[in-house]
Structure 1
Amino acid sequence: MKRTRVIAALAVAMVAVGGLSACSPGGSTSTGGPVTISVMEFQQTRIDSIKKLLPGFEAAMKKQGKDIKVKLVADVLTDDQFKTKITQQLIAGQAPDLIDLGDSLVPGFAGAGYLAPIDDYLDKWDGWKHYYPQFKKAMVRQDGHIYALVHDTGVQNLFYRKDILTSLGIDTSQPKTWDDLIARLEQVKEKTGDTPIVLPAGTAWGGGAWNEGFQPILGGTDKDYYSLKTGKWDLKSSGFPAVFDLYSTLYSKGLLPVQDLENPNPWEPTKYVKFPAGKIQVAAQGTWGWKYDWGPEGATPIPDLTTKVDTWQYPALRSGDKPFGWSGLGFGYATPAKSQHKDEAMLLAQYLSSGTPLADQLVASGAAAPRDDLADVKPYADEPKLLQAGKDLATSVYVPTGDGSDQIAQAIATSTELILNGKADGKQAYEAFVKDATDLLGPNLVK
């Protein structure tokens, strides 16, 4: 899971770039007077990255005759702490003028009227034509508007220890089906005694049990579990029982590290200890793993990472399915509906989502570009794994969702926990999920 899982709430730091001054309602700089806007980041890596870029934005605006100063609100928080704090600020009308949001938060905030639509800004922006079509489409919410400019993305795959599998004589070619992969995992278990694969699951993993574990496999199995048109979830989608059966099979064959998954911080013994040590050989992971988790400055660096670790696409689960990568919208810049500086905030969002400023952020966070013109821009151009992830986006699977994602995530975590506890097989876990999700979502969000 991403780095925010292991970042405890530290201190609230306010890093000011420039001075404070007033501006007219609406945030227009046409008067020529100075304007100060605020931007919020809550992950240390992103804070460090954007802090270096703000002086460049101010200088670029000055060349255009705009006197815009930026105050960076640097508040290091966990995901849940950030969600609570920004919700309170949005309700009170006290949120920063630009907020860097994970995409999963956008539908709820937009639906509640807290965020301003930004379609008009994007239509007039030259950079918009460089965004991949699937991401431009995915940013559109149920009401037909866009509320956040996504500036990073990635592909989730199965990362595997190529060095360990090779030394064990295990085939490292792309597994075409889960049956193929499970047969290899059983060979690993027989030779080492290890539980060789980690897929996020259970209540301890929280939302990651859904968005990093279950959903990527589901999306490559059946894409009809959510309708943007109706805003409803189809809990009878054939993909749900198929994925629950997969988890049950992995559990029954002793291939999942059950004890570690029930750890209060299950990503630590699995991804931060056993995968680096070669005791877990396959891990569901996203592009960020090359930096956040196992890179030289990651949580647990793996020396010679790119020679020891490689990736597979997710294998086909059912007959007729094909291997696939799962992509998703990462973080995006949004401006509150009550902001008085929307024009200036969007100028900053567009600056940070283009050229070298974007390349710097992508490399810092280990993310892929959602646009097609970054391949030759340093330092992004010097990152072969990120460039490859960018190429993989063209053929990856992505299913946009909306209201109810948090409730689905809760139900998936609870139902996969039943499998880990040995209290349910795949069919029983699916039935429990349908009941739980139906109660949590309510009749308006269920097909």
Structure 2
Amino acid sequence: MNGILSLIVSKKNFIIYALLKVLIMVLSLVTNIFIVRKLTVSDFGVFSVALMFIGLITTFGFSWSSSSILYYGSREKAKTGSINKTFWARNIIIEVSLVITTILFALLRHQINEYIGLDVAFLILIWLYISVAEDYLSHYFLAVKKQLMSSMLSVTAKVIYLLMILIFSFDVKTLIVLNIVSHTTVLLYIAGMDKKDIGKFEFDSDWFREVLNFSLWQLFGFSGLYLINFGDTAVIKHFMTTEDVGIYNAAYKLFNSVANLAFVISSYYAGSVTQYFANNESEKIKRFFYRERFIIFGLSTIAHIVVMVFSKPIITVLYGDRYVQSVIIFNILMIGSIFRYLAVFYTLYYNTNKKHKVLQYINIVRAVLNLVLDIVFIQLFGLIGPAIATAVALIVTFLYSVFYCEKRIKIMSKEGRMNDVTTEKQS
């Protein structure tokens, strides 16, 4: 009992951070319930396609360079006390990226409206710029180890969005406007930034090349991550109906809320694990990967099983009986989610040991495999086919990471202890 209490106390900040992330998930879920119940199945399908496209432009517009602040900013902060070089390096990257994205968006706006089935191209572009600011603030706070402040950004936006949905009547276009307004409020968190972390403009060409290289590989891999849901939605839209898109995405959004909580682990521990490997702290590496990892995964697996057991009442209570088809889709996806929780520890290993290229190749392979299996399985199994494809793709790429990472983690921890002994003897 005392051991459990001491563990809880020692991980207090992580537990609070995780609870805030759960709160964000709950707020998203509750918001989605009101949206699903208000809109027709067909309109929810249109809204899902609009969100899919918003996700596409945010992924290729700026999200691909976000984690450079987290990993390189943390490294710079540990060595110099600021994230100045990383901050300005990413500023240059994001400005060029946004100019290119804006030009392409302006040229293709009519095609975008036609594909979505609604005149919302200009609103989506505004949403992109608001999302850039929110994402920048969130990753800045993570890099300087203000994780709770980072999570409060999303809590603020989600609470305001939910309140606005409860107050105002809405259609699909109005929902996008409400999203923009609610997320704009996070700009108030600029007041929480420390000027010492940023400082005046500083350009280090070597550091810039490192950050750019890391970011470009993230772009390569992020396209794979995004294309999983994009592929599912596109394949269902091609072979089936808009209503089927709505039914599938009702399950997928619920799954994604649970599965994305896995990134709570990587975002919270990224700064610390980066320092463990950089400083060759073998005992801390061993403790994290061979103790804390198994505790966190064990608890998350139990939570998954509980959710799966009660999936039918959860979905029918949340979305209504018309979404009962989503239950089996959700349960299949949740099997994939269990493996995502295991795989996120390997994400930490890849990114903190300059193996990000391997990680991004894995993300692309997962996306391609998912898309191919989507096409095959939807014809064999119908609407559950894309869910099976997603779960299989997650499991296969996880198994590769086990093969690639485990032996390297073990070797590094042993070499670290040997180096510590050698250092002591020399001194």
Same fold (TM over 0.5): no
Of structures 1 and 2, the one scoring higher in RCO (CA 8 A, sep 6+) is 1
Q: Could you tell me the TM-score, scaled by structure 1's length?
A: 0.25
Q: Greater strand share, 1 or 2?
A: 1
Q: Greater helix share, 1 or 2?
A: 2
